[in-house]
Amino acid sequence: MGFRFYDTLVNEVRPFTPREEGVVRMYNCGPTVYDSQHIGNYRAATFADVLRRSLDLAGYEVHQVMNLTDVGHLTLDDIESGEDKMELAARREGRTAWEIAQAYIDEYMLVVEKMNWRRPLAYPRATDHVAEMIEITEALVASGHAYVTDAGNVYFSVASFPEYGKLSGNTVEALEAGSRVDVLDEKQHPADFALWKRDAEHQMQWDSPWGEGFPGWHIECSAMSRKYLGDELDIHTGGEDNVFPHHECEIAQSESFTGKTFVRHWMHTRHLQVDGGKMAKSDGTFITYEQVEARGHSMRALRYLLLSAHYRMPLNFTWDALAGAESVVDGLDATIRTLTSDAALAADPAVAERCAAVEAGFLAALQDDLNVSAALAHVHDLRGFVNKHGPFATADADRVRAAFAYVDELLGLDLLTQDSGADGDDAAEIDALVQERIDARASKNWARADEIRDELTGRGITVEDTPDGARWYR
Ligand SMILES: [Zn+2]
């Protein structure tokens, strides 16, 4: 069975087939680097990572590119105010726009490490690709898809692309009906969007056939996706807010320029809410990794929380939900840590069978439009099986570890490399206490056994008595 994904263009789940067998060319709209990324942005990147890892797991060669928007994030309001978000941030922080971009790119790369997002082929920066944007813009002007105003700005003419609106439903007619009155006079149609903004005052500016200025936002993704992945992409992703205008405009530019179908499969993820609302700096719901770590949570827990919700379903972040994710991750660690083998035992074929079933079910669930909750059910099935059984024959214990390694290719929790350092430096000491408690109970020294249990509880350790002995986890 192959993958089936929801395609925003046709609003239904349909089979996914890349243009070239075995190879997937995927472009993800990445961060705009005028501010810290918050956990809502992390959700979109985690979705891209889950998609990437699922394709990897199924054996595809994935050519993935994620852009860094470090110039020209122009909304209509920005054009009217004459400033883009990079310049606003530069004024706010008393730094240059170039310094702002570098600082937030550095911070983003730190988050990439912390969230364990697999690195794409490239993280191209918009400011490094202005020449490619100018090339496409010139061609669009020459072919009549774009026009230059008296002020030296270049706009794409939506009326020149009859399919405008096919992704979002915002057709030229629909937009006309609902158009705002205060549109810029220089535009031929209110929905026309900027490819180039002439502005000699802008901190980030380049020479162009239309004078000094800077590129529009949408053109960067048409230019960079083409440079790294070619004219035709298999998958293009973004957050739900990218559907319109950003992706609608990318389609118009790219398809007018190349005459080919730009993207075979459009995928978008829903927003993250915090405490049931939109994130805002003013009320403390603008959460970054710093708050997560300051509250003593691990980034593994945050990663698990963000990936465990289906990408097309709403996800509401609460600190309780994060604590819940933490205990699931701790539970997985505990199962793997306490996996015991006994060289004297003969291998049990049921173990290998169960592991193979878990792996097959896990991949099949992901192929079904990234049904992560069904995939996770297989992981928890494996965990329950391991907790109930054991000690295992050496080969069986290895097979169980291999199954956890398989699912971790997607989970990205480094499940098999959590050493005692990551678990705390006192693991050996706790092992000894747990053993002492077992001995105390065996010799009916109940007072000492209770004392040890209290001490362990005080340190946040839970001891589970199973038929095969005691297991502990934090
Ligand atoms: Zn984009």
| pLDDT for 6 | 98
pLDDT of residue 183: 55
Residue 93 or 464, more confident:
93
Residue 104 has pLDDT above 60, yes or no: yes
**Boundaries of CATH 1.10.730.10 in the chain?**
289-418
Ligand 1 centre to CA of 453 (Å) is 55
Q: Give the distance (Å) from ligand 1 centre to CA of residue 31.
A: 9
64-73 mean pLDDT: 89
Question: Measured in angstroms, how far is the CA atom of residue 50 from the centroid of ligand 1?
Answer: 19
Q: Give the pLDDT band (50/70/90) at residue 82.
A: low
Has residue 182 got a pLDDT over 60?
A: no
* Cα 246 to middle of ligand 1, angstroms: 7
**pLDDT per residue as tens digits for the range 261-270:** 999 999 999 9
CATH topology of domain 19-269: Rossmann fold (3.40.50)
Contact (CB, 8 A) for 164 and 240: no
> What was the pLDDT predicted at 229?
98
Q: Mapping DSSP to helix (H, G, I), strand (E, B) and coil, where does residue 409 land?
A: helix
pLDDT band per the 50, 70, 90 thresholds, residue 161: very high
For tokens 């290719």, what's the residue? 409
Distance 52 CA to ligand 1 centre (A): 17
Q: What share of residues in the chain are helix, strand, coil (percent, to 5)?
A: 50, 15, 35
Given a cut of 60, whether residue 388 has pLDDT beyond it is yes
How many angstroms separate the alpha carbon of residue 247 from the centre of ligand 1? 7
Q: Is the pLDDT of residue 282 over 50?
A: yes
* Ligand 1 centroid distance, CA of 442 (Å): 65
Residue 81 has pLDDT above 90, yes or no: no
What distance in angstroms lies between residue 44's CA and the mean position of ligand 1's atoms? 13
Give residue 234 CA to ligand 1 midpoint distance, Å: 15
- Ligand 1 center from residue 30 Cα (angstroms): 7
392-448: per-residue pLDDT in tens? Answer: 999 999 999 999 999 999 999 999 988 644 355 677 788 888 888 888 888 888 889
pLDDT confidence bin for 79, thresholds 50/70/90:
low
Q: Residue 340: what pLDDT? A: 87
Question: How many angstroms separate the alpha carbon of residue 220 from the centre of ligand 1?
Answer: 7
Q: What is the pLDDT of residue 114?
A: 97
User: Bigger pLDDT: 30 or 178?
Assistant: 30
CA separation for the pair 390, 392 (Å, rounded): 5
Sequence ranges of the chain with CATH classification 3.40.50.620: 19-269
- pLDDT(289) > 60: yes
Give the closest residue to 45 by CA, choosing from 21, 66, 24, 22: 66
Is the pLDDT at 302 greater than 70? The verdict is yes
- Interval 454-467 mean pLDDT: 76
Q: What is the pLDDT of residue 421?
A: 41
For 2-54, how does the pLDDT look when each residue is reduced to its tens digit (9 = 90+)?
A: 999 999 999 999 999 999 999 999 999 999 998 899 999 999 999 999 999 99
Q: What is the mean pLDDT of the chain?
A: 91
29 CA to centre of ligand 1 in angstroms: 4
pLDDT score at 467: 57
Quickly list DSSP for 101-168: HHHHHHHHHHHHHHHTPPP-SB--BGGG-HHHHHHHHHHHHHTTSEEE-TTS-EEE-GGG-TTTTTTT
pLDDT attached to residue 325: 98
The matching CATH number, chosen from 3.30.300.130, 3.40.50.1820, 1.10.730.10, 3.50.30.60, for 289-418 is 1.10.730.10
What pLDDT sits at residue 274? 94
